[in-house]
Amino acid sequence: MADIILDVEVRERTGSGGAREIRNAGKLPGILYGGDKAPVPIAVNLNAFRKALATGKLNGHLVTLKYGKETQKVIAKSIDFHPVTDVPIHFDLYRVDEHAEIKISVPVHFKNHELSPGLKKGAALNIAIHELEILVPADHIPEDIIVDLTGLEIGQSVHVSDLKLPSDVKAHVAAGEVVASITASGASKSEDAAEAAAASEG
């Protein structure tokens, strides 16, 4: 993954008035916290931040914060958006040692829907976990967790223990937790009933 660099400045004014002033200047207010240091109010150029965000590799990933000639590794922990315009209005960065183990949530994605006999019969994919909380070295955070649906029949489930995680990634939830299941929809129930009726007539 290409390293994302956020060139920040320290904000002199805080509070709603200071944040408004920063936004009017085309910048995005944020907070840097974590570690054994006090929180620091910061700001970054809004357009630069939006370009970094558009890569899909900013939120929840290790990035480099640059302040003058100083750099340090941080995790983008949260980003707030305007409810109407969807423009970023605030962000939080968390200081980390890039080799330290951290707890973070990553998205769960699914593949091979067409290879699931249950889904081909019209069943539904019922997703219980959209983001999986994991323990992982900060410099090895995976983009996502992939679940293979190949061979899954109606009534079958994928549990956390079934996930194929990288060797340095540990799930921070119970192994027996259901990630997703193949559940019968109205259409598939009708087909099953029709097959049962045909079998009994035979």
Phi, psi of 60 (to 5 degrees): 80, 15
Closest by Cα among 102, 80, 71, 99 to 31: 80
Report pLDDT for 172: 96
Residue limits of CATH 2.170.120.20 in the chain? 102-201
d(CA 164, CA 150): 14
Say yes or no: domain 102-201 is CATH 2.170.120.20: yes
Q: Is 32 exposed, middle or buried (0-12, 13-18, 19+ CB in 10 A)?
A: buried
- pLDDT tens-digit readout, 1-48: 457 899 999 988 777 788 889 999 999 999 999 877 899 999 999 999
Asked if residue 202 has pLDDT above 80, the reply is no
- pLDDT tens-digit readout, 123-135: 999 999 999 999 9
Query: Is the entire prediction scored with pTM above 0.85?
Result: no
Asked if residue 83 has pLDDT above 70, the reply is yes
Q: At 6, which amino acid appears?
A: L
pLDDT above 90 covers a percentage of the chain that reads 62
- pLDDT tens-digit readout, 138-189: 888 888 999 999 999 999 999 999 999 999 999 999 999 999 999 997 654 5
Query: What is the CATH T-level fold of the domain 5-96, as seen in this structure?
Result: Ribosomal Protein L25; Chain P (2.40.240)
Report pLDDT for 1: 43
Report pLDDT for 191: 54
- pLDDT tens-digit readout, 30-41: 999 987 789 999
Query: N- to C-terminal Cα distance for the chain?
Result: 60
Residue limits of CATH 2.40.240.10 in the chain? 5-96
Across the chain, mean pLDDT equals 88
